[in-house]
Amino acid sequence: MPDRRITKSKYTADRGMPGAFEGETVTRRRFMTGTAHTAGGIAAAAFLLPSLGFAMGPMFEKKEESWQDVGPVADFPDDTYVPKTIQISSGIGEVGKSTVYMRKHNVSIDGKMKDEYDGFIAISTRCMHLGCPVRVTAAAQRFNGPCHGGVYDFVGRVDGGPPVRPLDRFYTRTRNGQVQIGPRFSVNQELRRFSPRDPGEPLDGIGQYLYPSRPSIRKIPNT
């Protein structure tokens, strides 16, 4: 039985391709087009890959949980806030420090404790509008953002102005009579805990889908 398989020639002239020359296997037009596409792809990757790495890299960083002493239990009343300075970024000196407002958990104000990390309330001084520092006004029992008029109530919920969510908080615990402060977390208007978000990122409504949790953030146990 005769072999009916037909082997296609590798030469462009034999295949009747326009602009073909005798003995060539790739037309000059196709070669130049392929070269241009390859060069364009390399150039685009040179711009896009560093940008993607810069934008997405922090999402997958492994961050170690750290705890630091902020004072003995007796230092913190349950009806007013005490400012404490903490280290939020190591290795950069004073720039890596920040202030938090702290008090003891008050059942009449805060309700039932969530868990062992809720015995003391530690509230961030970073406004959830654009990140400006807020200050507490004891007489009015309010937190005020001086930059854009953000106002928060005594537990840090938004009470007026442009902030999109309550003030962030920090985990706390007690060890050997000392109150310790741990990682930061974000809360919505019901004070439900979320992995930390940046200022301007809402957690309620459609915001929870626009600003999802970061996969690198490890939650504290029992939260």
Domains and CATH numbers, the chain: 8-61 (no CATH), 63-210 (2.102.10.10)
pLDDT tens-digit series, residues 19-30: 555 555 555 556
pTM confidence score: 0.68
Higher pLDDT, 221 or 44: 44
- For residues 202 and 211, what is the distance between their CA atoms, to the nearest angstrom? 7
Average pLDDT over residues 99-105: 95
| Range in 40-49, 131-140, 188-197 with the lowest mean pLDDT | 40-49
Residue 204 confidence (pLDDT)? 79
From CA 102, how far away is CA 97, in angstroms rounded? 16
**pLDDT score recorded for residue 214:** 61
169-197: buried (b, 16+ CB within 10 Å) or exposed (e) per residue? bbbbbeeeeebbbbbbbbbbeeeebbbbb
pLDDT digits (tens, 9 = 90+) for 145-172: 888 889 999 999 999 889 999 999 999 9
Q: Residue 54: is it exposed, middle or buried by C-beta count within 10 angstroms (0-12/13-18/19+)?
A: exposed
Question: Contact, 71 vs 81, CB < 8 A?
Answer: no
